């Protein structure tokens, strides 16, 4: 290495550019600009919700090398918890007043996060703690946990798809000439950006964040410096599970339905996102989620049969370019 100061924490911007590049690439394949705008906003909104659901899982993997399929249960049970709060308050959701809508939404969201977090805490203690360091057992045990959770949903809430009321004040769309942008999608983007900004702030500006970043790279060394990484891990696990519940509730209001298999269905996309982003990287997870959301919406329009396949193709292309994901964490 030659003299001169190293640039402070040089940022790698190439992956960030993939998002606008992908949007522009899709433009010629879509017949009208308003359609393209609609699909792009829908893709970003979907990406933001997937990011909210996936962000905790990528940190959990990075910190403790744990493969947790049961994360899908936090999403679906979180969503059902929100729905249980929303349905009795249906009238408030249908009032044309933001304040009245919010008095229904706020407790629903809190319920989703509380239930997600509590369930996460319980799963960590009961299922995951006994199988540290053994990926095969983790996959089996957490898959089992996901299946049991799905059955439990059938028992508690019944086997049928439940329609979810969407709040009136975030229904409808903003219109700009020919272009219509659904209000709920804008809300999803705002919440997603808020979660990302908060996580970035905590990770980069606080001592707790410093510990998490160090722990994701080398948990053994963090312990050797005198920190109890287990506590850190449980905290991240519970926070990540609460976020999964939040994402599940938002997804339920977006789809206007909930069903027991929703968590399992979303887990496929979430794993693709985490692998694309680089296991353990929150920024990578964010960009990966946006890419996956956009690809799902563009191909859903251009060639609906290829929707899932296209995301797998996206993952393969990213891994050909960067075999350990967009932002590889320097595991040592």
- Contact residues: another protein, CB under 8 A: 1, 5-10, 207, 210-211, 213-214, 217-218, 220-229, 329-330, 332
Beta bridge partners of 325: none
Residue 3 Cβ vs another protein, minimum distance, rounded to whole Å:
8
Count CA within 13 A, CB hemisphere, residue 40: 19
Rounded least distance, CB 135 to another protein, Å: 15
Decide: 48 and 40 in contact? Cβ < 8 Å: no
E runs forming strands in 261-308: none
Beta pairing, strands 257-258 & 179-182: unpaired
How far, in Å, CA of 229 to CA of 224, rounded? 10
Give the nearer residue to another protein in terms of CB position, either 271 or 327.
327
| Closest distance to another protein from the beta carbon of 273 (Å) | 20
Choice between 3 and 304, CB closer to another protein: 3
Least Cβ distance, residue 55 to another protein (angstroms): 17
- Least CB distance from residue 117 to another protein, whole Å? 25
Using alpha carbons, select from 167, 176, 46 the residue that is nearest to residue 97. Answer: 167
Give min distance, CB of 109 to another protein, in A.
33
Q: Which is nearer to another protein, 63 or 105 (CB)?
A: 63
Residue 162 or 214 having the CB closest to another protein: 214
Cβ closest to another protein, residue 65 vs residue 217 = 217
Please report where in the chains the tokens 């977006």 appear, as a residue: 254
Structure tokens at 65: 């090398």
| CA angle at 172 for the pair 167 and 173, rounded to the nearest 5° | 135
**Cα–Cα distance for residue pair 14/328, rounded to 1 Å:** 13
Using the minimum distance from each CB to another protein, give the nearer residue, 2 or 320: 2
The 3-state DSSP class for residue 304 equals: helix
Which DSSP helix (H) or strand (E) runs through 162?
strand 162-163
Question: CB 275 → another protein: shortest distance, Å?
Answer: 19
From the CB of 56, what's the least distance to another protein, in Å? Answer: 19
Q: Could you give the residue ranges of the DSSP H alpha helices within 124-161? A: 135-157
Nearer to another protein, 22 or 227 (CB): 227
Q: CA-to-CA distance for 220 and 202, rounded, in angstroms?
A: 22
Residue carrying structure tokens 């500006």: 205
CA pair distance 92, 319, nearest whole angstrom: 47
Q: Which is nearer to another protein, 168 or 328 (CB)?
A: 328
Question: Residue 155 or 220: which CB sits closer to another protein?
Answer: 220
- As measured in angstroms, the least distance from the Cβ of 222 to another protein is 7
Q: Is 8 left (phi over 0), alpha (psi -120 to 50) or beta?
A: beta
Measured CA distances, 93 to 81, 112, 115, 168, 182 (Å): 16, 17, 21, 6, 17
């Amino acid at each position: 290495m030659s003299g001169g100061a190293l640039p402070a924490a040089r940022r790698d911007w190439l992956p960030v550019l993939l998002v606008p590049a992908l949007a522009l690439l899709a433009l010629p394949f879509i017949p009208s600009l308003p359609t393209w705008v609609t699909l792009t906003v829908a893709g970003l909104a979907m990406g933001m919700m997937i990011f909210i659901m996936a962000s905790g899982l990528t940190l959990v993997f990075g910190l403790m090398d744990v493969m947790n399929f049961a994360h899908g249960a936090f999403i679906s049970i979180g969503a059902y918890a929100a729905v249980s709060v929303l349905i009795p308050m249906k009238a408030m959701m249908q009032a044309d007043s933001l304040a009245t809508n919010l008095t229904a939404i706020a407790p629903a969201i809190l319920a989703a996060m509380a239930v997600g977090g509590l369930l996460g805490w319980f799963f960590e203690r009961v299922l995951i703690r006994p199988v540290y360091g053994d990926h095969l057992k983790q996959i089996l045990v957490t898959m089992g946990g996901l299946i049991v959770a799905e059955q439990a949903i059938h028992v508690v809430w019944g086997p049928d798809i439940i329609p979810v009321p969407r709040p009136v004040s975030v229904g409808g769309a903003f219109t700009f000439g020919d272009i219509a942008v659904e209000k709920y999608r804008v809300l999803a983007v705002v919440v997603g950006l808020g979660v990302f900004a908060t996580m970035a702030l905590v990770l980069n500006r606080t001592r707790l964040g410093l510990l998490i970043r160090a722990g994701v790279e080398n948990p053994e060394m963090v312990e050797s410096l005198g920190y109890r990484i287990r506590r850190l891990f449980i905290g991240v696990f519970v926070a990540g599970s609460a976020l999964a519940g939040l994402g599940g509730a938002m997804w339920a209001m977006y789809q206007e339905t909930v069903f027991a298999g929703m968590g399992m269905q979303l887990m496929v996309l979430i794993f693709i996102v985490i692998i694309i982003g680089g296991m353990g990287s929150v920024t990578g997870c964010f960009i990966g989620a946006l890419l996956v959301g956009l690809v799902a919406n563009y191909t859903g329009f251009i060639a609906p049969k290829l929707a899932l396949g296209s995301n797998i193709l996206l993952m393969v292309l990213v891994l050909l370019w960067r075999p350990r994901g967009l932002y590889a964490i320097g595991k040592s």
